[in-house]
Structure 1
């Protein structure tokens, strides 16, 4: 019913879980999560989940979607934390694509800062990142604060069911 998911500090495959870092809990179903924490009454009548629980429900839904699409019963979503001990940098998900780990940030609303994604990009050898948000599809050329250029694919939340296909297209096309 509940998975304990430890983060990885790797920026290249394999994304080995770091058991010394703080884990994340992932319930098998977002509806069960909402019921268990007593939020189902608050959700009745909501027209937009993006800011509900500071975006944590959207993050949980996206992780649940990826897990549901994976054929392996051993699959667990992977997220990244910076190796530095006192750092709070965290990328919401990592997508394994060939010899690369593609960072995915899930942002509530139509925008969002990307500090952790920038830190990941500064440590890796590829220059691709993904942001899921309440917005339209787009691809942007952006730079980290230290000036490293990379490509950012913005996907609306509903496209989270097709992340592997979008990442494949993104890397092949750019």
Structure 2
């Protein structure tokens, strides 16, 4: 039986000293990429930028051709690790959207002041008790106690405007 990953762990990418959202190259040629794929901050920009034109108004189910195209685009810009496959792209999209929904919920909760820089900024015994109740109700909130999520605005570009009614 396959192990399932807990949803919404941390940032969604590996933080590596010297690699930021604005890091460009030197890239590893796809033929020389080795090991397990690594998701770094620049990969998030490439992935979302590639997917935006394919977002439909009825949901976020990307066709295999789009997932393969995204993997190809990512594999042209490898900074570390191995090649990305369509399945890992699909899983990363799901993971990012889960985090996005959690942060969106936190932004809308009364009594919680979420910021991109400080997360929910929980300090003091009363705030700790409230936070423990919030996390007990939904454990995916835990990473955002005192840490924001710098991908929120980026991933928001993937959310189609769904008409209500």
Which category of TM-score, normalised to the shorter sequence, fits these structures?
under 0.3
What TM-score do the two structures reach when normalised by structure 2?
A: 0.23
Q: Which has the higher contact order (CA 8 A, sep 6+)?
A: 2
Structure with higher Rg: it is: 2
What TM-score do the two structures reach when normalised by structure 1?
A: 0.22
